[in-house]
Structure 1
């Protein structure tokens, strides 16, 4: 019934959001000479590029940054299970969230994460985002139900915590500031820095109590880059590894040419490829909604007609 339609709608939106454009790039790369395959996506030999294996996410054919996409798509299958589980727990959602959060923190400090590996080491990074979403939704619902309002001393405490988290986040990313002091008490992550919990905390705080941090990040220029980010993700190798740009001696010439060219290419691909796909998904979603409510709508229409007919046949009494 409703769950089936919701799941179909969910997977259609997720699939069409990422896979068709990825498929187009994979086909384009297949049509290019080997010289360009090697330059742009680090394909080792002329016989190495197998379009079928690339499209089916074969582990040895996840070239350059394409290793992240199958991990993201695999996590999509977990999200409905997570949502249903949290919904069934109702008021006891925290019973699951606390051990899951402990697992995220433990993995962050003790599990090796790097590029071109399978989902398992990165799973808790995705999970942190889902946990943050649950915390925000539950807190927001409680806040509306209770009428809670932040007092000045609440705001001061939240801001102090947020700015401390931001300093820790910068320190972990660049191995500076408080990084050495912090790692006197907790181990250094064996692979990539553990920043998912810090980043999720800042996002939740800004959603609950917005400040200049979120205002800055909502700057129109950054919002546009966010809108075209998937095009940037898929197409940036064609710009970054361009020989014409790489040969320029001046660093700033290379930097600004890459930024401007990538902006133009990604914006064009967004409006030519991504946006039409998104519109097609919205049409499919509306069609599914209409299909789901068709029987119910027909029933309501029949009942309404019957009521009107009975009313018209009722004798008039002065």
Structure 2
């Protein structure tokens, strides 16, 4: 099974993009921050949705083929203790702890957290950054279904990819669920149905990679220098399109973003170590940010508030850099004292019940 080390760097980059974008009200004179704000959803949020669904689908698919017993149960236990429990802790502190734990969202007149009940039940209708956690966790329940279907299909997994691709193409054109712009606003964006396509593209990329890896002929073909040259430049070209892409029609945006970032991830996964993007994502700084990305993402509002309150800036890039630096240090501590202990608790749970 692959360990996609370079995707840690990709995850770190996405976390930094979103955190930077949220400083827009305080760094408005910075062209870089303005640009990151314009791509924060199409690149940062949707890129992470694709990445998450790709990795989880790929790993569970491999585990089901190698270790069928308890694979799905282990998958849910791992997701619960890795993601939901740390999220639950932060959401609880943001609502009942010191006001500053909620960061600038608790102080900004146009931003607000949902009620505690709504947050922990993933009915996140507030205008905070935590809305992204809800559809991701909900999609965790779809991934095992996809993997079991593919396992049942065996060597005919391409049928799943074909059917899913056809469904998404038709749904984008005919809008089967009747989604409108109002369904994508802050009141409904936590609903999986409004963003399911982005996740599904990531799962499709994972299944395609699994199909390719099962074929020695395809693998050998992809190793040829000419093919690698094409893959290398194609991945770079598609990623540049993704960074430059912006569509004010919100439904088209998440469909197109899903296609772009699932294609990039798949192309980079099929490339050798000379791939430009793979080298870039292997940067130590980005990989470290990826390791602590969850903490960076959920904690950065704290430091947006404290930085603008205790320091004086002329709305320049230095504000954003300071926020990122503090968020990273806090994320390291959050990982050490919260995330890792949640993982240990999950391991003890599995050991106690002999799972």
d(CA) in 2 for partners of 1:27, 1:149 = 49
Please, which of 203, 207, 212 is the counterpart of residue 130 of structure 1? 203
Asked if 2 retains the 8 angstrom alpha-carbon contact of 1:245 and 1:254, the reply is no
Distance in 2 (CA, whole Å) between partners of 1:191 and 1:245 is 41
- Structure 1: state its 5+ residue gaps: 176-186, 293-318
Count of aligned pairs: 275
* TM-score, normalising length: structure 1: 0.74
Higher Rg of the two aligned structures: 1
Uncovered stretches (5+) of structure 2, i.e. residues with no partner: 1-66
Q: Of 204, 209, 228, which aligns to 2:271?
A: 209
CA distance in 2, matches of 1:78, 1:205: 24
Judge conservation of contact 1:232–1:262 (CA < 8 Å) in 2: yes
Give the CA deviation at 1:244: 2.2
- Corresponding residue number in structure 2 for 1:300: none
CA distance in structure 1 between the aligned counterparts of 2:342 and 2:328, rounded to whole angstroms: 20
Give the SS at the match of 2:198.
helix
Deviations 1:28-86 (A, max 9, x none): 122346687584346879x99642333223344x4501111121111111111110001
Return 188-197 or 23-32, whichever deviates more. Answer: 188-197
TM-score, structure 2 as length reference: 0.67
1:227-268 Cα deviation digits (max 9, x unpaired): 111111211111123332574225133122112111111111
Query: 1:197 is matched with which residue: 238, 251, 259?
Result: 259
Match of 2:118 in 1: 53
SS in 1 for 2:135: helix
Tell me by how many angstroms 1:11 deviates. 0.8
Deviations 1:253-304 (A, max 9, x none): 312211211111111111111112223323444555xx36xxxxxxxxxxxx
**1:263 alignment partner, one of 318, 328, 338:** 328
Whole-angstrom distance in 2 between the partners of 1:246 and 1:125: 39
